[in-house]
Amino acid sequence: MTVPAALKIPTRRGSELLMLVFAVLLVVAAEADVEATRDGHISSRLITYAAVPIVVGLVTHLVIRRVAPYADPLLLPIVVLLNGLGLVMIHRLDLGLKQQAAQSGDTFNNPAAPTQVVWTAIGVALFIVLIVLIRDHRVLQRYAYTLALAGLFFLVLPAVLPASMSEVNGARIWIRVAGFSIQPGEFAKILLTIFGAAYLVAKRDVLSLAGKRVGFSIRSRFIGFDLPRGRDFGPLLLAWLLCIAVLVRGRDLGTSLMFFGLFVVLLYVATERAGWVVVGIALFAVGAYLAYQVFGTVQTRVEVWLHPFAPLTSAQLAQGIDPGYQLRQSLFSLGTGGIFGSGLGNGHPELVPLPATDFIVSAFGEEIGLFGLVGILVLYALFVVRGIASALAVRDAFGKLLAMGLSFLVALQLFVVVAGVTRLLPETGLTTPFLSYGGSSLIGSYALLALLLRVSDAARRPATVPPAKAKETVPA
Amino acid sequence: MNRPIRRVAIALGVLFAAIFVNLNFVQVVKSDEYRNHVGNKRVLLNEYASPRGQIVVQGTAIALSKQTSDELKYLRTYPQGELYAPVTGFYSYVYGRSGIEESEDKVLSGDDPRLFGTQLGSLLTGRNPKGGSIQLTLNKAAQAAAYSAMKGADGKMRRGAVVALDPTTGAILAAVSTPSYDPNELSSHNANTMERAWSKLNDNPAKPMLNRAFNELYAPGSVFKVIVSAAALSDPAAKITPDTRVPAPNGYWPFDPKKTSACPNDPTSSCVKNFDGETCDNGKTATLAFALAKSCNTAFAALAVDKLGGQRIADQAKLFGFGDPYTGDPPDLCHPPALNVPLPVCTSTVGSTGDLTDKGSLSHTSFGQQDVRITPLQAAMISAAVANNGSLMKPYLVAKELSPNLSTLSQTEPTQLSQALDPDLDTDLQEMMEGVVTAPEGTGGAARISDIPGVVVGGKTGTADTGIFVNGKETPPHAWFSGFALQNGAPKIAVAVIIENGGVNGNETTGGLAAAPVAKAVMEAYLKSGGGH
Q: Does A360 have pLDDT greater than 70?
A: yes
pLDDT at site A210: 66
Residue type, A6: A
Top-confidence range, A89-98, A218-227, B497-506: A89-98
> Between the CA of residue B83 and those of B79, B501, B526, what are the distances in Å?
9, 22, 16
Cα A304 off chain centre by: 25
Chain A residue with minimal CA distance to B24?
A370
Reduced DSSP (H G I as helix, E B as strand, rest coil) percent helix, strand, coil of chain A, to 5 = 70, 5, 25
Chain A residues close to B4, C-beta within 8 Å: 268-269, 272
Q: Does A446 have pLDDT greater than 90?
A: yes
| Chain A residues 365-424 with a CB less than 8 Å from chain B | 365, 369-370, 373-374, 377, 381, 384-385, 388, 391-392, 397, 400-401, 404, 408, 411-412, 415, 418-419, 422-424
Alpha carbons A308 and A423: distance in angstroms, whole number:
9
Tell me what the mean pLDDT of segment A69-98 comes to: 95
pLDDT at site A170: 66
pLDDT at site A176: 76
Q: Does B12 have pLDDT greater than 60?
A: yes
pLDDT at site A476: 44
- Confidence band for B159, pLDDT divided at 50, 70 and 90: very high
Annotated active-site residue in B103, B222, B234, B363: B222
Kindly determine whether residue B24 and residue A370, on different chains, have CB atoms separated by under 8 Å: yes
Chain B residues close to A370, C-beta within 8 Å: 23-24, 27-28
Tell me what the mean pLDDT of segment B323-329 comes to: 90
pLDDT at site B267: 76
Q: Determine the 3-state secondary structure of A231 from DSSP.
A: helix
pLDDT at site A110: 85
Q: Does B348 have pLDDT greater than 80?
A: yes
Establish if B41 touches chain A: CB-CB under 8 angstroms.
yes
- Virtual CA dihedral for B200, B205, B207, B208, nearest 10 degrees? -60
Chain B residue with minimal CA distance to A272?
B4
pLDDT at site B123: 53
pLDDT at site B257: 87
Tell me what the mean pLDDT of segment B434-439 comes to: 96
Chain A residues close to B32, C-beta within 8 Å: 335
Tell me what the mean pLDDT of segment B44-49 comes to: 79
Alpha carbons B421 and B429: distance in angstroms, whole number:
9
Is residue B187 annotated as part of the catalytic site, yes or no?
Answer: no
pLDDT at site B471: 82
Q: Is B309 left (phi over 0), alpha (psi -120 to 50) or beta?
A: left
For an interface test with B, give the residue of A367, A422, A427, A432 to mutate (most B CBs within 10 A).
A422
Average pLDDT of the residues of chain B = 91
pLDDT at site B102: 94
Contact assessment for residue A421 and residue A340, using Cβ atoms and an 8 Å cutoff? no
pLDDT at site A311: 84
Closest CB to B126 among A332, A343, A400: A343
Establish if A39 touches chain B: CB-CB under 8 angstroms.
no
For an interface test with A, give the residue of B42, B45, B128 to mutate (most A CBs within 10 A).
B42
- Burial class for B49, CB neighbours closer than 10 Å (0-12, 13-18, 19+): middle
Q: What is the pLDDT of residues B163-175, one digit of tens each?
A: 999 999 999 999 9
pLDDT at site A221: 76
| Chain B residues 128-187 with a CB less than 8 Å from chain A | 128
Kindly determine whether residue B5 and residue A388, on different chains, have CB atoms separated by under 8 Å: yes
Supply the Cα-derived Rg of chain A in whole angstroms: 23
Chain A residue with minimal CA distance to B1?
A269
Closest CB to B31 among A102, A338, A385: A338
Kindly determine whether residue A347 and residue B43, on different chains, have CB atoms separated by under 8 Å: no
Question: Cβ contacts of residue B370 below 8 Å, gap of 6+?
Answer: B351, B355, B361, B362, B364
What is the DSSP-derived secondary structure letter of residue B303? Answer: I
For an interface test with B, give the residue of A100, A373, A424 to mutate (most B CBs within 10 A).
A424
Tell me what the mean pLDDT of segment B151-157 comes to: 85
Tell me what the mean pLDDT of segment A228-235 comes to: 70
pLDDT at site A154: 82
Q: Does A100 have pLDDT greater than 50?
A: yes
Best CA proximity match to B398, nearest among B137, B149, B16, B44: B137
Contact assessment for residue B362 and residue B356, using Cβ atoms and an 8 Å cutoff? yes
- Confidence band for B500, pLDDT divided at 50, 70 and 90: very high
Tell me what the mean pLDDT of segment A211-218 comes to: 75
Closest CB to B5 among A269, A334, A338: A269
Q: What is the pLDDT of residues B64-113, one digit of tens each?
A: 998 887 777 889 999 999 999 999 999 988 888 999 999 999 999 888 88
> Between the CA of residue B218 and those of A134, B221, B276, B466, B498, what are the distances in Å?
94, 9, 21, 8, 9
Kindly determine whether residue B27 and residue A365, on different chains, have CB atoms separated by under 8 Å: yes
pLDDT at site A472: 46
Phi, psi of A13 (to 5 degrees): -70, -30
Contact assessment for residue A17 and residue A25, using Cβ atoms and an 8 Å cutoff? no
Contact assessment for residue B184 and residue B78, using Cβ atoms and an 8 Å cutoff? yes
Q: Percentage of residues in chain A with pLDDT exceeding 90?
A: 50
Closest CB to A400 among B1, B22, B45: B1
Tell me what the mean pLDDT of segment B270-289 comes to: 90
Kindly determine whether residue A346 and residue B127, on different chains, have CB atoms separated by under 8 Å: yes
Q: Does A185 have pLDDT greater than 90?
A: no
Average pLDDT of the residues of chain A = 87
Alpha carbons A476 and A473: distance in angstroms, whole number:
9
pTM higher than 0.80: no
Q: What is the pLDDT of residues B382-411, one digit of tens each?
A: 999 999 999 999 999 999 999 888 889 999
Q: What is the pLDDT of residues A293-345, one digit of tens each?
A: 888 888 888 999 999 998 888 888 888 888 889 999 999 999 999 999 988 98
Phi, psi of B453 (to 5 degrees): -65, 145
Task: Say which range, A59-63, A203-207, B520-524, has the weakest mean pLDDT.
Answer: A203-207
Q: What is the pLDDT of residues B184-233, one digit of tens each?
A: 999 988 888 888 999 999 999 999 999 999 999 999 999 999 999 999 99
- Confidence band for B139, pLDDT divided at 50, 70 and 90: very high
pLDDT at site B129: 63
Q: Does A467 have pLDDT greater than 80?
A: no
pLDDT at site B124: 53
| Chain B residues 66-105 with a CB less than 8 Å from chain A | 69-71
Helix or strand (DSSP H, E) at A286: helix A274-294
- Confidence band for A2, pLDDT divided at 50, 70 and 90: low
pLDDT at site A392: 96
Helix or strand (DSSP H, E) at B486: strand B478-487
